[in-house]
Chains A and B, each alone.
Chain A
Amino acid sequence: GQQVMQIPQYQHVQEGEDFTTYCNSSTTLSNIQWYKQRPGGHPVFLIQLVKSGEVKKQKRLTFQFGEAKKNSSLHITATQTTDVGTYFCAGPGSGGSNYKLTFGKGTLLTVNP
């Protein structure tokens, strides 16, 4: 089945440092979504990227979708303690269905104040 690989698995930064997590697929994705899960919480949708080469920003968060639509990244500028959590990317499920998702294993971000 389709797999979405996400790296790194863990990232620890000092507050104020930048952070990036990467998501890669062996197949072309019609779209990719990003979710954040705070410790003890549930995944919360952040954004969806659809177009080749798309770049979207949400305050200090920058999301990119690769030109070949096989990779994506989430970059956080000047991390804050509120950024702590696990960030997941998710692509369409097996068979290319957009209505079920295949999640990466996530990147756990911890921030030292």
Chain B
Amino acid sequence: DADVTQTPRNRITKTGKRIMLECSQTKGHDRMYWYRQDPGLGLRLIYYSFDVKDINKGEISDGYSVSRQAQAKFSLSLESAIPNQTALYFCATSDLRGGGYEQFFGPGTRLTVL
């Protein structure tokens, strides 16, 4: 969805490096999420945030941290990247006000850790 943007779109880094993936949205949604996608494993939730003061761990948060700098921005950091963090990362948003729970995904960041 063009209203959810992610930077960078592709990144190659080395083991041990610190990496930050950024997500911005213009949808005005309160809720933001970070997922990783691996072939055959579907989408797994890393962290989620229901508002600027609320950060929650997902099912696979080890090795990751997040920052919700503003309602519109949610960043994912890998403090010391390792090869098994090579994956496709998606940011998503959702809005309580709509009454449904659908999530809107960004275009994804393909991360390779060598």
Contacts and interface: CB of A to CB of B under 8 A. Distances in A.
B101 A101 contact: yes
A31 B101 contact: yes
A45 B45 contact: no
Interface string A75-113: 000000000000010101110001111111110000000
A33 B43 contact: no
Contacts, number: 55
A59 interface: no
Interface residues of B, number: 26
Contacts of A103: 42-44
B33 interface: yes
A105 B40 contact: yes
Most buried by B among A6, A44, A45, A100: A100
Contacts of B92: 43
B90 A33 contact: no
Interface residues of A, number: 25
B45 A48 contact: no
B59 A1 contact: yes
A101 B105 CA distance: 13
B15 to A, nearest CB: 27
A107 B48 CA distance: 25
Nearest to B92: A43
B108 A42 contact: yes
Contacts of A88: 42-43
B31 interface: yes
B42 to A, nearest CB: 4
Contact of A93 (B42, B45, B107): B45
A11 interface: no
Nearest to B45: A100
Interface of B: 1, 31, 33, 40-45, 48, 50, 58-59, 90, 92, 94, 96, 100-108
Instruction: Please give me the 10 A-B residue pairs with the lowest Cβ-Cβ distance, nearest first.
Output: A105-B42, A45-B102, A42-B105, A103-B43, A103-B42, A98-B101, A43-B105, A106-B42, A42-B108, A48-B100
30 contacts: A6-B42, A9-B40, A33-B101, A41-B107, A42-B1, A42-B90, A42-B106, A43-B43, A44-B1, A45-B102, A45-B104, A48-B100, A48-B101, A48-B102, A88-B42, A88-B43, A90-B43, A93-B45, A98-B101, A99-B31, A99-B50, A99-B101, A100-B33, A100-B45, A100-B48, A101-B101, A103-B42, A103-B43, A104-B42, A105-B40
